Amino acid sequence: MTAGAVRRVRVVAALIPHPEGGDRFLCQQRLPGGSRGLLWEFPGGKVEEGETEPAALARECSEELGVDLQVSRKLWEGRHVYPDLEVELVLYAARIHTGTPEPLGAHALAYLTFAQMQRLAFCEADVPLLEGLAKGEVPVA
Protein backbone atom coordinates (compact mmCIF):
# COMPACT_ATOMS: atom_id res chain seq x y z
CA MET A 1 0.00 0.00 0.00
CA THR A 2 1.13 3.51 -0.69
CA ALA A 3 1.49 6.12 2.02
CA GLY A 4 -1.93 7.40 3.04
CA ALA A 5 -3.74 4.44 1.48
CA VAL A 6 -6.51 2.96 3.58
CA ARG A 7 -6.81 -0.80 3.81
CA ARG A 8 -10.11 -2.15 2.42
CA VAL A 9 -11.91 -5.20 3.82
CA ARG A 10 -15.15 -6.95 2.96
CA VAL A 11 -17.02 -7.91 6.11
CA VAL A 12 -20.04 -10.19 6.35
CA ALA A 13 -22.48 -10.02 9.24
CA ALA A 14 -25.40 -12.19 10.32
CA LEU A 15 -28.86 -11.11 11.39
CA ILE A 16 -29.64 -14.04 13.70
CA PRO A 17 -33.08 -14.08 15.34
CA HIS A 18 -33.67 -15.35 18.86
CA PRO A 19 -34.37 -19.11 18.70
CA GLU A 20 -37.84 -18.57 20.17
CA GLY A 21 -38.69 -15.95 17.53
CA GLY A 22 -39.82 -12.43 18.31
CA ASP A 23 -38.08 -9.20 17.48
CA ARG A 24 -34.68 -9.77 19.12
CA PHE A 25 -31.47 -10.49 17.19
CA LEU A 26 -28.00 -11.61 18.28
CA CYS A 27 -25.37 -8.91 18.74
CA GLN A 28 -21.84 -9.11 20.05
CA GLN A 29 -19.60 -6.67 21.86
CA ARG A 30 -16.05 -6.49 20.52
CA LEU A 31 -13.16 -7.47 22.75
CA PRO A 32 -11.45 -4.61 24.60
CA GLY A 33 -8.03 -3.43 23.52
CA GLY A 34 -8.39 -3.96 19.77
CA SER A 35 -9.68 -1.63 17.10
CA ARG A 36 -13.15 -0.40 17.99
CA GLY A 37 -12.91 -2.27 21.31
CA LEU A 38 -16.12 -2.75 23.31
CA LEU A 39 -18.32 -1.44 20.51
CA TRP A 40 -21.29 -3.59 19.49
CA GLU A 41 -21.81 -5.24 16.11
CA PHE A 42 -23.61 -8.09 14.40
CA PRO A 43 -21.71 -11.41 14.45
CA GLY A 44 -19.44 -12.07 11.48
CA GLY A 45 -16.07 -11.05 10.16
CA LYS A 46 -13.75 -10.63 7.21
CA VAL A 47 -14.08 -12.53 3.96
CA GLU A 48 -10.80 -14.27 3.20
CA GLU A 49 -9.35 -14.61 -0.30
CA GLY A 50 -11.10 -17.34 -2.30
CA GLU A 51 -13.97 -17.61 0.19
CA THR A 52 -17.62 -16.98 -0.62
CA GLU A 53 -19.47 -14.56 1.64
CA PRO A 54 -21.81 -17.25 3.09
CA ALA A 55 -18.83 -19.55 3.75
CA ALA A 56 -16.95 -16.71 5.48
CA LEU A 57 -19.97 -15.95 7.64
CA ALA A 58 -20.39 -19.60 8.63
CA ARG A 59 -16.65 -19.88 9.44
CA GLU A 60 -16.57 -16.69 11.50
CA CYS A 61 -19.65 -17.68 13.53
CA SER A 62 -18.19 -21.12 14.14
CA GLU A 63 -14.91 -19.58 15.37
CA GLU A 64 -16.37 -16.68 17.37
CA LEU A 65 -19.66 -18.14 18.64
CA GLY A 66 -19.21 -21.92 18.47
CA VAL A 67 -22.33 -22.42 16.32
CA ASP A 68 -23.12 -23.90 12.93
CA LEU A 69 -24.93 -21.28 10.91
CA GLN A 70 -27.44 -21.65 8.10
CA VAL A 71 -26.91 -18.56 5.91
CA SER A 72 -29.80 -17.31 3.83
CA ARG A 73 -30.16 -14.27 1.59
CA LYS A 74 -28.32 -10.97 1.46
CA LEU A 75 -30.35 -8.25 3.21
CA TRP A 76 -28.21 -5.11 3.05
CA GLU A 77 -24.87 -3.74 1.87
CA GLY A 78 -23.06 -0.57 2.85
CA ARG A 79 -19.65 1.06 3.03
CA HIS A 80 -17.91 3.06 5.75
CA VAL A 81 -14.47 4.64 5.82
CA TYR A 82 -12.68 4.78 9.16
CA PRO A 83 -9.37 6.68 9.41
CA ASP A 84 -7.49 3.33 9.27
CA LEU A 85 -9.87 1.10 7.31
CA GLU A 86 -12.52 1.04 4.60
CA VAL A 87 -15.24 -1.48 5.40
CA GLU A 88 -17.64 -2.96 2.87
CA LEU A 89 -20.30 -4.45 5.15
CA VAL A 90 -22.81 -7.05 3.94
CA LEU A 91 -25.66 -8.32 6.13
CA TYR A 92 -27.16 -11.78 5.59
CA ALA A 93 -30.21 -13.41 7.12
CA ALA A 94 -29.07 -16.43 9.09
CA ARG A 95 -30.23 -18.98 11.64
CA ILE A 96 -28.32 -21.13 14.09
CA HIS A 97 -28.46 -24.71 12.83
CA THR A 98 -26.69 -26.30 15.80
CA GLY A 99 -25.04 -25.02 18.96
CA THR A 100 -25.64 -22.32 21.53
CA PRO A 101 -23.79 -19.02 21.03
CA GLU A 102 -20.88 -18.42 23.37
CA PRO A 103 -18.63 -15.31 23.40
CA LEU A 104 -15.50 -17.14 22.16
CA GLY A 105 -14.32 -14.14 20.14
CA ALA A 106 -16.39 -11.42 21.79
CA HIS A 107 -16.61 -9.62 25.11
CA ALA A 108 -20.38 -10.18 25.43
CA LEU A 109 -23.41 -11.48 23.52
CA ALA A 110 -27.03 -10.33 23.72
CA TYR A 111 -30.29 -10.77 21.85
CA LEU A 112 -31.57 -7.23 21.36
CA THR A 113 -34.45 -5.40 19.73
CA PHE A 114 -33.63 -2.71 17.17
CA ALA A 115 -34.66 -0.05 19.72
CA GLN A 116 -32.23 -1.51 22.28
CA MET A 117 -29.48 -1.62 19.65
CA GLN A 118 -29.89 2.06 18.91
CA ARG A 119 -29.16 2.89 22.57
CA LEU A 120 -25.81 1.06 22.51
CA ALA A 121 -22.47 2.14 21.07
CA PHE A 122 -22.24 0.23 17.76
CA CYS A 123 -19.41 0.34 15.24
CA GLU A 124 -19.89 3.33 12.93
CA ALA A 125 -20.18 1.03 9.89
CA ASP A 126 -23.29 -0.51 11.49
CA VAL A 127 -25.13 2.77 12.19
CA PRO A 128 -26.81 3.17 8.75
CA LEU A 129 -27.81 -0.50 8.93
CA LEU A 130 -29.34 -0.06 12.39
CA GLU A 131 -31.29 2.97 11.19
CA GLY A 132 -32.60 1.01 8.19
CA LEU A 133 -33.62 -1.91 10.39
CA ALA A 134 -35.38 0.35 12.91
CA LYS A 135 -37.32 2.13 10.13
CA GLY A 136 -38.28 -1.16 8.44
CA GLU A 137 -36.25 -0.25 5.33
CA VAL A 138 -34.05 -3.35 5.64
CA PRO A 139 -35.84 -6.72 5.53
CA VAL A 140 -35.30 -9.05 8.48
CA ALA A 141 -35.75 -12.38 6.68
| DSSP-assigned letters across all residues of 7-44 | EEEEEEEEE-B-TT-SS-EEEEEPPTTSTTTT-EE-SE
Task: For residue range 103-141, list pLDDT tens digits in order.
Answer: 999 999 999 999 999 999 999 999 999 999 989 999 987
CA distances from 55 to 14, 65, 79, 103, 119 (A): 12, 15, 21, 20, 31
Task: For residue range 19-56, list pLDDT tens digits in order.
Answer: 998 999 999 999 998 888 899 999 999 999 999 999 99
pTM of the model: 0.92
State the alpha helices, DSSP H only, in the chain. 53-65, 114-118, 127-134
Mean pLDDT throughout 73-102? 96
Cβ(63)–Cβ(76) under 8 Å? no
Answer yes or no: CATH 2.30.30.360 is held by domain 7-134: no
